[in-house]
Amino acid sequence: MGVHFRRQHIIGPYIADFVCLSKKLVIELDGGYHQLPQQQANDEARSLWLASKGYKVIRFKNENVLGDMETVLNTIKKQLDE
């Protein structure tokens, strides 16, 4: 897609799964524990903090990455094109 992503990159108090610094796009991959109420609250606070710093956060469930990579890549491409 013509951009560089960093893996496990520190942004403030957080570690992003993947980030494209030039586009300020954070990609988070969520396992099953992200469905727990406390983790959802933590994820929301994290996304809000990152947004306050100018980052766009998109999340994918692990199952989607493993089972429907084409949709995941199309979603990422769409975000990069914005």
List per-residue pLDDT tens for the chain, 82 residues long.
789 999 999 999 999 999 999 999 999 998 765 566 766 788 889 999 999 999 999 999 888 888 999 999 999 999 999 8
Beta-bridged to residue 7, according to DSSP, are 18
d(CA 41, CA 26): 18
Structure tokens that stand for 4 in this block: 């560089």
Biggest alpha carbon distance in the chain? Answer: 37
Structure tokens that stand for 5 in this block: 């992503």
